[in-house]
Structure 1
Amino acid sequence: MENVLRPLIVVGGSVVLTLVVGWAVDQVLRRTDARHHETPLWGLLRRGRVPFQLVLFAAVLRGSYDQAQLLQDHRVGLGRALTLVLIGSAAWLVVRIATAIVEASYSRYATVHRDPARVRRVRTQVSLIQRVVTAIVGVMAVAAMLLTFPAMRAAGASLLASAGILGIVAGVAAQSTLSNLFAGLQIAFGDMVRLGDTVVVDGEWGVVDEITLTFLTVRTWDERRITMPVSYFTSKPFENWSRGSAQMTGIVFFHLDHTAPVEAMRDKLRDILRECAAWDGRDWGLAVTDTTPNTMQVRALATAKDADDIWTVRVTVREQMIRWLTREHPYALPRVNTADAALPPDNTNGRVRDGAGRRAHQPPRTGRG
């Protein structure tokens, strides 16, 4: 009977102790979070409730399973398994705590600073730092787990002796991976591109959606995801429309007939922009920027607070201006000119008017006949 009750008491006591302590810590964090609304740290720390309870349970059971006389034939294996669980759950808890601290710090920074560009830069750096911490903790946890096996401890000396050769071989084999890793750190702290930036890469317009230590994801306007190595952004040119400020200037070109009413178009552009909610009111303008033998190029200019609004402004101006020209001034639209060219008003060089009132070329009189 004792052989049955003792394991039940030890295991059951460990479970009860874990649940009670975990519940008490969660209640303390909840009440602290309710009193301190200015910081989300205490609420974020509650995400570590499960790994904390797992660490507590593994530690209590690891220290008391000898008294429980549980699986005496497999004492070593059970102890090693509990040690592995303890190491893994401890690493999980450390990652959750580090994530909570980092996210709370970023939330406080984003609340204080109103500059969107600076906030995006800090968010990019914070996310990459968080990934680096997670990777370091994971590697250390795996190394600690491996060292619990006697065979791995015995092989440690030989591994250290050959570390130089292995490092050279690994460096050559993982050259592209290492270059992407350093490129990711350069992007994070060099402020080249940030999360939420509007970029144009290989002719594709999109928003930076994710940045890791090895790759970067751009979300295009049609919800596609373009994934590329971060080394691309350190070795090739790209357009960053959000660099410095998110405000943008948009341009719409019209190819029209030379008779197009430019002044009326300028007044119409002003009316269109006044009714467009995406226009920020900073600047606008309309001017003839080029001419060809058949048409002239008219440029309409407007501003907006970001890339999304400038797209709305451009399509609105283009659509309403073409509709207005078609309805009010159809002669201003480009067309193929098949009429005779207009001639000077005098009759010099033998040019006279034809029967329809147009000027035609007539050979000069010679005085004969």
Structure 2
Amino acid sequence: MQDLLTAPAAPYLAVILAIAAGLTLSWLVRRLVLKLNRKNTALRETSRKARLPLRFAMCLIGVRIGLALTSADEEWWQIVDHALLVALIGCLAWLGIAVLHIIEALVLSRYRVDMADNRRARRLRTQVILARRIGVALIVVVAVGSVMLTFPAGQALGAGLLASAGLFSIVAGLAAQTSLTNVFAGLQLAFTDAIRVDDVVVVEKEWGRIEEITLTYVVVHVWDDRRLILPSVYFTTTPFENWTRRRSEVMGTVEFDLDWRSPFEAMRGELKRILAETALWDERVGILQVTDAVSGYVRVRILVSSSDSASLFDLRCLIREELVIFLQQNHPTALPHVRIETTAPAAAKTRPEAKRAPLVSAADDRPRHPADPHDSQMFAGSIEAVARSRAFSGPGEEVFEDREKAITAQDKPEADEG
């Protein structure tokens, strides 16, 4: 046995046997875990994430043991052993992260979010995701620190950092004040249940769903497929609307401005028919009320409820469309009307319009004087205007009589000569 361990080919043989043993052991571990949880189909699908890091870790452990038994006195042993140790730390960190992903998948598989009342599932989903991310960050930090401690220079650096920890913490705290604020705000959001993944919120006058919650920011999926990225501290310092804080059921309104002749009872009957024929209504609330009647219109408000916000939006659109068609086809007088009333001038109501005599005779086309010169409308509105009207009224009755006599006298001699 001693000769076998000291043979020149012993290191190579040890490496081969160690790799074979590591692969076999990792296969046995995986088969044992799956057999103990054979009823859990989700574990079989997610356990593949840990297959590669488990194999590498087992092989590295076997190789280190094999080389330590066969080549501990060799000059290259220290360098190879240190490299294997660093690789083993990296594989163990990789395995730890994979295990966290498996635990997350197993927990989330037990709580479905595609249900009507999924508040508890969404809350647990948010907390598990954030806990997994925190765990991944801790594993990475520990792994990097462990690798640094394997170097002699790294140990000295660690001692120096510990000696100046007070000054370093003050400088780091001032430099990363905003980032640390967002980190603590993210932790607060995760464990105070203020928002959860898939919550319906209204932020910055935008309607959307919480798509992702990290330690530093929150992603809101806006209704038009845009993404609104907000820092975590926003949700701890700024008021916002959460439509699914306690339950997913919500209520909404549909409003109409109609004429005063609107048939409210007929509209209520049509509303009942629409709600009875659609699956968007959750049968909790469905009423029609007149909420205002001023400014020439009657405001009709319809209050309905639905199982979630998406169904509520579709239900409101359906009610609005169906009732508009109903009023157009059956009650067109209920549609909004604008009424305009015309009245005669005040002067025309007080006295009849003055009659004017024709200025031209139909028989001989000779000019005639008006019946009343003072009826002229050139000047009116005051006593001075009436006086001016008299001054500009033209010749009087005597002037017209003299002109007629002169014309008659001229026509008489001509008749005598004939």
Normalising by the residue count of structure 2, what TM-score does the alignment of the two structures yield?
0.75
Letter in 2 for 1:169: V
Which whole-Å CA distance do the structure 2 matches of 1:261 and 1:318 have between them? 16
Distance 1:81 1:339, change over 3 A: farther
Which structure has the bigger radius of gyration? 2
Pairing 1:94-133 to 2, within 5 Å after superposition: 94-108=96-110, 116-133=118-135
2:33 to 22, 29, 35: 29
| Partner SS state of residue 195, structure 1 | coil
Residue 239 of structure 2 corresponds to which residue in structure 1? 237
2:13 to 9, 33, 52: 9
Letter in 1 for 2:87: V
Q: Is the 8 Å Cα contact of residues 29 and 46 (structure 1) preserved in structure 2?
A: no
Deviations 1:316-357 (A, max 9, x none): 00111112222222232223333459xxxxxxxxxxxx9xxx
Letter in 2 for 1:160: L
Whether 2:28 is the aligned partner of 1:20: answer: no
Pairing 1:1-369 to 2, within 5 Å after superposition: 5-34=9-38, 36-37=39-40, 40=42, 44-66=46-68, 74-108=76-110, 116-340=118-342, 363=349
Distance 1:115 1:254, change over 3 A: closer
Which whole-Å CA distance do the structure 1 matches of 2:70 and 2:332 have between them? 95
Work out the percentage of aligned pairs sharing the same amino acid. Answer: 39
Q: Is the 8 Å Cα contact of residues 287 and 299 (structure 1) preserved in structure 2?
A: yes
Residue 348 of structure 1 corresponds to which residue in structure 2? none
Q: Which moved more, 1:320-329 or 1:182-191?
A: 320-329
Letter in 1 for 2:212: E
Q: CA deviation at 1:204?
A: 1.1
Which whole-Å CA distance do the structure 1 matches of 2:44 and 2:154 have between them? 40
Letter in 2 for 1:62: R
| Partner SS state of residue 37, structure 2 | helix
Q: Is the 8 Å Cα contact of residues 33 and 43 (structure 1) preserved in structure 2?
A: no
| Partner SS state of residue 292, structure 1 | coil
Letter in 2 for 1:85: A
Deviations 1:205-237 (A, max 9, x none): 111111111111111222222111110000001
Deviations 1:114-136 (A, max 9, x none): 96222222221222111111111
| Partner SS state of residue 199, structure 1 | strand
Distance 1:159 1:258, change over 3 A: same
Which whole-Å CA distance do the structure 2 matches of 1:107 and 1:361 have between them? 87
Residue 344 of structure 1 corresponds to which residue in structure 2? none
Q: CA deviation at 1:364?
A: 6.3
Which of 1 and 2 has higher RCO (CA within 8 Å, sep 6+)? 1
Which whole-Å CA distance do the structure 2 matches of 1:141 and 1:192 have between them? 33
Q: CA deviation at 1:310?
A: 0.6
Which whole-Å CA distance do the structure 1 matches of 2:25 and 2:213 have between them? 38
Which whole-Å CA distance do the structure 2 matches of 1:108 and 1:327 have between them? 52
Deviations 1:176-211 (A, max 9, x none): 111111111111111111111111111111111111
Letter in 1 for 2:18: S
Gaps spanning 5+ residues in structure 2: where?
A: 1-5, 353-418
| Partner SS state of residue 155, structure 1 | helix
Normalising by the residue count of structure 1, what TM-score does the alignment of the two structures yield?
0.84
Letter in 1 for 2:164: S
Matched residue pairs, number? Answer: 344
Q: Is the 8 Å Cα contact of residues 251 and 300 (structure 1) preserved in structure 2?
A: yes
Q: Is the 8 Å Cα contact of residues 217 and 228 (structure 1) preserved in structure 2?
A: yes
Q: CA RMSD in A?
A: 2.9
Distance 1:264 1:114, change over 3 A: closer
Q: Is the 8 Å Cα contact of residues 116 and 308 (structure 2) preserved in structure 1?
A: no
Gaps spanning 5+ residues in structure 1: where?
A: 342-353, 355-359
Residue 372 of structure 2 corresponds to which residue in structure 1? none
Letter in 1 for 2:274: I
Q: Is the 8 Å Cα contact of residues 26 and 46 (structure 1) preserved in structure 2?
A: no
Letter in 2 for 1:83: L
Deviations 1:228-270 (A, max 9, x none): 1110000001000001111111101112222222221111111
